[in-house]
Structure 1
Amino acid sequence: MQNPIFFGLDMFLFIISFCIAPLYGENATAVKVDVGIILDLDTYVGKISRTCMLMAIEDFYTNHNYSTRIVTHLRNSNNDDVDAASAAIDLLKNVQVQAILGPQRSTQADFVIDLGNKVNVPIISPSSTPSLSPKESPYFIRSAPCSSFQAKAIAGIVKAFGWREVVFIYQDNNYGSGIVPFLTDAMLEIDAFVPYQSIISPSATDEQILQELYKLKTMQTQVFVVHMLPCLASSFFLRAKEAEMMTKGYAWIIADVLTSLLDSVDSIVIDAMQGVIGVKAHVPKSNKLSYFTKRWRKKFQDENPDTDNLHLNVYGLWAYDMVTALATAVDKVGAVVQQFKKPVTRENSTDLDAIGTSNMGPTLVDSVRNINFKGLSGDFHVTDGQLQPSAYEIVNVIGNGDRTIGYWTEQHGISKTMKPNGKAVYSTDKDNLAAIVWPGFCIDVFKEVVKSLPYLVPYEFIPFATPDGQSAGTYDELVYQIFLEKYDAVVGDVTIVANRSRFVDFTLPFTESGVSTIVPIKNDERKNAWIFMKPLTKDLWLTIGGFFIYTGFVVWVLEHRVNKEFRGPPSQQIGMIFWFSFSTLVFAHKEKVVNNLSRFVVIVWVFVVLVLTSSYTASLTSMLTVQQLQPSIYDLIKNGEYVGYHSGSFIPGLLMDLKFDSSKFRNYSTYEEYNEALSRGSRNGGVAAIVDELPYIRPFLAKHCSKYAIVGPTYKAAGFGFAFPKGSPLVPEFSRAILNVTEGEKMVRISREWFGEEEGCPGKDGTVITSNRLSLDSFKGLFLTAGVSSSCALIIYLSIFFYENRIILASGTSITQKLSLLAKTFDEENNKSSEGSKKQGGIGEGDRTAESIAVSPDFPRSPAVSTFYHLEGVFSQEEGFSTTEPGTPYHDMIQT
């Protein structure tokens, strides 16, 4: 017979694992599979990818019991090819990893891919260089689209504008040159000619870049396609602006790697790139992506507290999805012998030969090379070891960031929306793009004003920047340079304000201006008929329901034999399980519990219900009141909220005049920073509102019109003007010329090109709701307490019950007969607890307590059961036993 103590312990462990595992999703029996990660952890993309990869592993295994589990081994390649190769050898030789994620750069990946082919280990790298082909390397999987895919999208833009000649400008390495053959072929298909290719060394000096730009300037071609990494591109475009090639008449198209990483580029570079067109992989918006972005931002900030203004980009999303794909493939392959198969030792063998080959690799690589699922980045479709792009966004660099002006797909060509209605043909019509702003806003106005003067005014544009290309100061400091006689005039988006007019004279404004406030739009939740469901997330609702049923079941088990309230027909007992637990929600349960274990369970559960109902009430109240409020400028001051503004502008002085606390100011340089700060909110490192001038607010709202709105009042400002030294005779002349320009169609055209038409938001529904919903994570400890309490009570009760009925368990009958007898015994009423006083002189009629074994007529008489001890009562002759006194052993009284 099994020891009842061990039996109870087994039951305890089983129930505890059953209750706790769904909360934490751990599977101690999962087979560990070693996977290496090689990243440049000092780079922008490397830091983002690391966080995304680790979050992917956490998300994949949470709340799922897979038979396998990836264990990662991270190595830093330090942006060096040799370090990347050394890291790969270490992972393969000493760790025997079954796959390697990375490295990032193509020069690093080239050698590592050869290693993977040699030892049969999949190498999953984002390297987009076409020269690294998964077709030629069977163990190479490209986790980002090949750079050659974008060639047709770029050619589509060139054809849309009818350009017949294009110059390629690319980085002098395998990465830069790899795309050239594909671009050349794409241009030939649209009858465009490539008269020249400009190659820029990654180590080129500013003088060398300028020399090449002046050479390009002498050519007739003024359309350029640039394929460079952000570091080299930043220096290049600053020099292009210095060479006056970022002006009207020039067209610049940048490839996806630079477009996707524009948020990593300094604001001074973005200012130099005004009007540039770019292509980048399209990432569809989704609730899942929005939720992940918020989690990622918090985790990334915790891991990198010294890093500011980093944004989640498509490379991080691809890294997340690739880890998910690998984990899925590993689980599909299952538990395979992971030790490397050692080769036969031979003469002149190298350390690489001694590594051997992976047993899992051949099966694993087949699962990963062709996988398709819906990921954070959209449709994550890998075909023959290469990620397939679904679409490209066409963007225009404008203001402090970029805005989407259209899309390109292989099926529809260029279109304003991702899914053009009723469109079945391929199009390269530029009318399918939104209005494009070409280089030179303020510069265009200045040139038009100079043209309207009755005499020639020679001029030279000098950027207000440091030698390394950074901004040299604020707008106030820029204007003050005239007073210091360093500049003869200032041309730009300089607002006319009183304190600046003490040092310079301004012309009449060439554009109207005003200062207003942007805040997030919030829905009125009271209009939602299902608002009562919103305080809790779906997972939390389901968990609460499960615990209600589980607690009701435990109380029923504990009370069934001793409490008449918990007895009756099966339908009534099932109803009691649901009724008793759910009635505690409103504290309306009227049934008294008599078992001490039941009382313990109910006390703990009532406490849990009290916490849940209180939290639910508070959250619902918040949704019905605070959430619907739209903050005004005065609410922001009163509540001490953080407020953002454009770096270098005069807005801080205006805000301090309105009695704002200057410690609550945060400055930003790009529209993406505006969006991120408003999304995070004042309490999470962002801001509650952005205060800026209307010329900057309008393009931002055009891009995010469904998320933000302007709230009053609007404070008047004089507008943008040109600044000259005090008493300059050019001021009245330029002012009259400005009137001629602004009263005609020229200024209307320039304003429309820069700011675009004020349009609504077709295809976008409603507004964004700020969520205060309660999630399961907030109550894991509470449910853990309730689950352990109920489970312990149940285990104690079952252990006692099984011990008291150990005679049945020890019998030589079948398991089915044992279970049947145990069920009958459990279903019989135990009156000992409620009528113990009536049984002091013996057992009453029909009494079958938990301490007297109830044996049915069909109980088997087995020779194996030779001795029973009568504990408290008697058994009748009809059941096969003689009547004896308590304590008398039953020897040889079993009928044979």
Structure 2
Amino acid sequence: MKMRAYYLIFTFSVLFLFSVKQATSTRVVIGAVMDKMSRAGMETNVALQMAIDDISRQTNQSFVLKMINSRGEPARAALAANRLINTEKVQVILGPHTWQEASRVIEISNQGQTPTFSLADSNPTWALERWPFLVQASTSNQDAQMKAVAAIVQSWDWRRVTVIYEEDTDSTFGRFMPNLLKSLQDVGAEIRHLVPLPPYATALSEQLMRLKRDQCRVFLVHTSLKLATQVFHEAEQMRMMEKDYVWITTNTITDLLYSVNLTTIFSMQGVLGVKRHFPEGSLKFVEFKKRFRLKFSLAYPEAENNEPGISAVEAYDTMWGVATTFAEMNTQIKNRSQLFLEKVSRIDFIGITDRVHAIGRKTESSHIFGVVNVIGKSYRELGIWKEKSGFSKQTSHRAIYNSSMKDLGQVFWPGESMHTPKGWSIPSITDSMKIGVPAASLFKQFVNIEYDPQTDNLSCKGYAIDIFNEVTARLPYYVSYEFIPFNGTYDSLVEQIYLKKFDAVVGDVAALADRCKHADFTHTYTASGVAMIVPVQSKMPHKAWLFLKPFTKAMWLLILAITVYNGFVIWLIERKHSPRLRGTATDQAGIMIWSSFTTLFSLNGGKLHSNLSRIAIVVWLFVALVITQSYTASLTSMLTVKKLEPTVSDIETLKTNNAKIGYGKGAFVARYLKEVLGFKSDNLKNFSSPQEFAHALKTGDIEAGFLNGSYKLFLAKYCKSFVLAGPTYKVGGFGFAFPKGSPMLNDVNKALLEVFESGKLRELEDKMIGAERCVEVDSISDDEITLSLNSFWILFALTGGITTCALTIYALDGLRGRAAKFTQQISNVMIMILKHWGHQRKRFSRKVSDAEIPEDPHTAT
């Protein structure tokens, strides 16, 4: 009895303790649908078990994990979800890593009103609205990742990208395309080809061979790791992992690179990859990593790598998010699913690598991606890319960001190349662009189509063709093209681009507003403007004051001044030697002026008495000789050279006279003449060749003609017969036309500017009109013949200087004579003073001597 009593007490104690534990803990059944054959599924399996153990140890919660293997098949995933909800009675489901499977699981769980955490890498934006019991647990951000890819493309100036993606019934991988297309357009790049591959591709060699024949050498691979392995193995066999090739992988491949075997790594040498980035330096992650390695090695001993990846991190943090949500719920409430979803939106805790924060039913996405480069047996992390910041080698707060990844260091490219690939190469077979050219250009110098009957081939030459060839040679990729003549108007030629019959138009085609409806134009390569060309007529000068035209006013004034100056100096020097130069002031002034001008025509050296005046006269006579001969030559030119002037000076005269007007055939000038300049249609005539145009102007069939862009060439050929008259009316010059929105347009414009800046355009223009350029022009303006001081200032300085020197010497000589005379007078005065003083001194001395002689005493006595 006593033993039985003890047994009952022990039993009741155990039951009591169990009931207490049940009262203080919550038992939650968690379901999971994973592909245990995939690396992500294996990591998730181990990480969830670790999370459940940690939650049970650190909290009062109790979790039971029910995981079913989907084997990567969407149908099995749907059956597994149905079993977990109806048989296992799970309260939450953790979904697969692929959207094909996740969409099936979410559809079943939504019907059973069971919250499902999707770990799929790519979830469509509409999924959360369609399925109210869906929670997006993955931190993948497709929009930011495509911007990172575009930033890599921009860093190396690549312009075209071929995209290889995995095709499936739900178009999982195809949903990234809008983000990629927009991101590439933002950096001036385009998608060259889209290559969809089924999950189990069987004709990879055919697909890759078509890509190999194309010029684009930049490939973006966005597939599952399993399919990517096949792609790279096949590409290596086809020698597409060599020099000049570029391969970029997205996170669906790069996130799992650490887990692939060496055979796959060796087939991916030189690949650039974008992977989801998570900090690995925290103490929590270091501890997690140690435990994960041990458990993973025990669970999967055949695996070559036991490192935890982003799949393990997300699974572990997701389980803790589920536990945190259940901990805040009341276990007695009936509608637990709705409350659970409300609590999920408040998830905010520190995970094993970073903060886990939910916005609505979606975990906050990461905006940081790692950039890696496959080298040797593994890969090297070059740095990171952060949205709105750029590339950096560090992730700290002091990190320096750059827009280009070139600052991340040397990249190991395919083919063991250290030089950056151009992104394109010349393939053996490629599609050629169809370039339309006008078959009947007004000037053959722009576009000249020649037919060779022996080879039955057409060849295109000319100024426009040469410029286009120069432009394409400067493009950052190879362009194959062929010229196709078009018989029709220029408007119809441009319209063929809109009709997709031509890929571009090259020729003397003006860029006009109406034509921009059908195509986009490059920068113009000729002067923009419509110019009026008229014949010239002879104009003989009949002016009363023509004799003054050979010299400018300043020249005449200086001649007068130097003449009077020379005459004055000679008169001054010679007047003391010649009595005829003396007299009254009026006589002397007349004689001075007369002698000034007579020296222009005769030397009169025999009548001059001073050498100074002779020197001045000789120099002045030489200068006068040069001046008179120049005057005679200039006046002769004015009287004999034919002057040319336009027959019509402005369009108003043409309108008043109701004159006939000509223009080039096929040009838009006719519409401009009628609608803008106001000419009558009956007065307009078109011409198909410059010869007909010139003949009509010479014969008077038309009084004026209008040309656009090509008027320089016309005037170069007929420089002595026609001239420009009136203003040049601004309109569009000649340019190349491309389809609207063409991605080539920016590259062509840049290359065209390089042609301008290099001087090549001027060289081609000189080559075009060199044979027609005028060397001599009959018409010379009066201003070109008129002589100014610039031509004679040295002569005037010479004669003025010599005359001034003569005047200076004469003045000094005169001063010297006067000084000598003055000195003589002073000397005479001094002598007279001295003589007078001497005489006075003698008289004084005599008086003194007479007063001082004593009287002789003897004599006195």
- TM-score for the superposition, normalised by structure 1: 0.43
Q: Which has the larger radius of gyration?
A: 2
- TM-score for the superposition, normalised by structure 2: 0.45
